[in-house]
């Protein structure tokens, strides 16, 4: 199925079939694979990808004529939609239901359940009902010895639906599990996102020291791994936490936040973060806010 695509990539890299086979299998066997006349076992297929320095994701993207597959499009769209945008969630849910009529896909089916829970939350404000609807996802993943990136992303999407005790248990497990992926850039970004999401949940539940515990390493040791957006959010949230300690460097963090957003000309995020700061700062803390 993918032999012809691998053949095109091989030719573009100016490798011969014999060079790519590298004594692992015969040139004739590899030629049959490129012509889609025979299949390749998983071990040899991974060997070929490694020889070409090609990830499976990139191969599938090229094979699909430089486009995401329908399932990947739905997954990407799910993680881009704000979870409080009912209309967008309903459109996505409709697309998911059409896809599932023609395809069996375990992960997309779970995204369908999450969409239904989020819509329930936006319509009826039924947090308990939404929580119960997605609980089976956490119960399934919690039985794993190791969490996988797709499952971690899914749990991060529903984290805020749980009570704070369960939420904390899940978030701390996810952060810990991601240390296994320390050399994978996507996992580092995901860990940073979970820490930022967890930090605002801690602040909302008046667990200020816990929020500081997770935010400080981001700003001290991991700031090179943060996007400008994540860095600005981290600065804003540590400033919120410091208002509860009446710390003198609150203004410094806010100034760094504003300078960063000015450099990126991101007025919308600046407004949102100022609203967040005003909403969650310690009420007794006085600072000149515009």
Identify the CATH number of the domain in which residue 14 sits. 1.10.260.40
Q: How many whole angstroms separate alpha carbon 238 and alpha carbon 208?
A: 9
Terminus-to-terminus CA distance in the chain, angstroms?
Answer: 60
Residue 93 lies in a domain: no
Average pLDDT, the chain: 92
At residue 288, the pLDDT reads 58
The b/e string for 148-186 (b: 16+ C-beta within 10 A; e otherwise) is eeebbbbbbbbbbbbeeeebbebbeebbebbeebeeeee
Is the confidence at residue 42, as pLDDT, over 80?
A: yes
Is the confidence at residue 289, as pLDDT, over 70?
A: no
Is the confidence at residue 44, as pLDDT, over 80?
A: yes
At residue 25, the pLDDT reads 83
User: Looking at residues 174-184, what average pLDDT do you find?
Assistant: 90
Full domain range(s) for residue 286: 182-290
Is the confidence at residue 290, as pLDDT, over 60?
A: no
Q: How many whole angstroms separate alpha carbon 25 and alpha carbon 30?
A: 7
Q: How many whole angstroms separate alpha carbon 223 and alpha carbon 226?
A: 5
Residue that terminates a domain, selected from 63, 90, 106: 63
User: Looking at residues 256-276, what average pLDDT do you find?
Assistant: 95
Share of the chain above pLDDT 90, in %: 77
- Cβ distance 148 to 188 under 8 Å? no
Q: How many whole angstroms separate alpha carbon 99 and alpha carbon 117?
A: 19
Residue 105 lies in a domain: no
Residue that terminates a domain, selected from 39, 63, 87: 63
Q: Which helix (H) or strand (E) holds 165?
A: helix 164-177
Q: How many whole angstroms separate alpha carbon 3 and alpha carbon 12?
A: 14
Nearest of 180, 187, 212 to residue 198 by alpha carbon? 212
At residue 287, the pLDDT reads 64
Residue 230 lies in a domain: yes
Tally the domains of the chain.
Answer: 2
Residue 16 lies in a domain: yes
Q: How many whole angstroms separate alpha carbon 110 and alpha carbon 136?
A: 10
Is the confidence at residue 258, as pLDDT, over 70?
A: yes
pLDDT: which is higher, 160 or 286: 160
Q: How many whole angstroms separate alpha carbon 135 and alpha carbon 141?
A: 10
Residue 51 lies in a domain: yes
Residue 285 lies in a domain: yes
Three-class DSSP category at 14: coil
Residue 246 lies in a domain: yes
Is the confidence at residue 20, as pLDDT, over 90?
A: no
Q: How many whole angstroms separate alpha carbon 45 and alpha carbon 109?
A: 29
At residue 184, the pLDDT reads 87
Q: Hey, how many other C-beta atoms are within 10 angstroms of the C-beta on 279?
A: 10
Length of the chain (residues): 290
pLDDT: which is higher, 111 or 147: 111
User: Looking at residues 83-93, what average pLDDT do you find?
Assistant: 93
Which of the 8 DSSP states describes residue 264? T
41-45, 248-252, 280-284, 285-289: the lowest-pLDDT one: 285-289
At residue 51, the pLDDT reads 92
Q: How many whole angstroms separate alpha carbon 218 and alpha carbon 269?
A: 19
Q: How does pLDDT run across 123-159, given as a tens digit for each residue?
A: 989 999 999 999 999 999 988 888 899 999 999 999 9
Residue that terminates a domain, selected from 45, 63, 81: 63
The two tokens of residue 191 are 């860990």
At residue 224, the pLDDT reads 86
At residue 29, the pLDDT reads 87
Residue 20 lies in a domain: yes
User: Looking at residues 69-90, what average pLDDT do you find?
Assistant: 93
Is the confidence at residue 273, as pLDDT, over 60?
A: yes
Query: CA-CA-CA-CA torsion for 206, 152, 82, 136, nearest 10 degrees?
Result: -90
């Amino acid at each position: 199925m993918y032999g012809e695509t691998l053949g095109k990539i091989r030719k573009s890299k100016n490798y011969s079939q014999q060079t790519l086979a590298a004594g692992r299998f015969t040139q004739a066997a590899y030629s049959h694979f490129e012509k889609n006349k025979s299949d390749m076992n998983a071990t040899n297929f991974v060997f070929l990808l490694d020889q070409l320095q090609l990830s499976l994701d990139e191969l599938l993207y090229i094979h699909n004529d430089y486009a995401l597959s329908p399932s990947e499009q739905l997954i990407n769209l799910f993680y881009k939609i704000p979870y409080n945008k009912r209309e967008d969630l309903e459109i996505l849910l409709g697309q998911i239901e059409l896809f599932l009529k023609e395809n069996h896909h375990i992960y997309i089916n779970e995204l369908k359940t999450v969409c239904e829970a989020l819509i329930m939350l936006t319509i009826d404000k039924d947090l308990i009902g939404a929580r119960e609807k997605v609980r089976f996802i956490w119960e399934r993943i919690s039985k794993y010895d190791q969490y996988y990136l797709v499952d971690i992303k899914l749990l991060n999407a529903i984290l805020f639906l749980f009570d704070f005790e369960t939420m904390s248990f899940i978030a701390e497990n996810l952060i810990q599990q991601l240390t296994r992926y320390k050399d994978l850039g996507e996992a580092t970004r995901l860990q940073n996102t979970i820490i930022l999401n967890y930090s605002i949940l801690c602040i909302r539940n008046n667990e200020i020291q816990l929020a500081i515990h997770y935010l400080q390493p981001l700003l001290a040791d991991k700031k090179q791994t943060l996007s400008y957006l994540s860095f600005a959010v981290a600065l804003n949230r540590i400033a919120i936490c410091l208002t509860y300690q009446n710390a003198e460097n609150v203004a410094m963090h806010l100034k760094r936040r504003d300078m960063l957003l000015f450099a990126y000309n991101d007025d919308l995020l600046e407004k949102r973060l100022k609203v967040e700061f005003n909403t969650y700062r310690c009420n007794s803390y006085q600072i000149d806010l515009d």
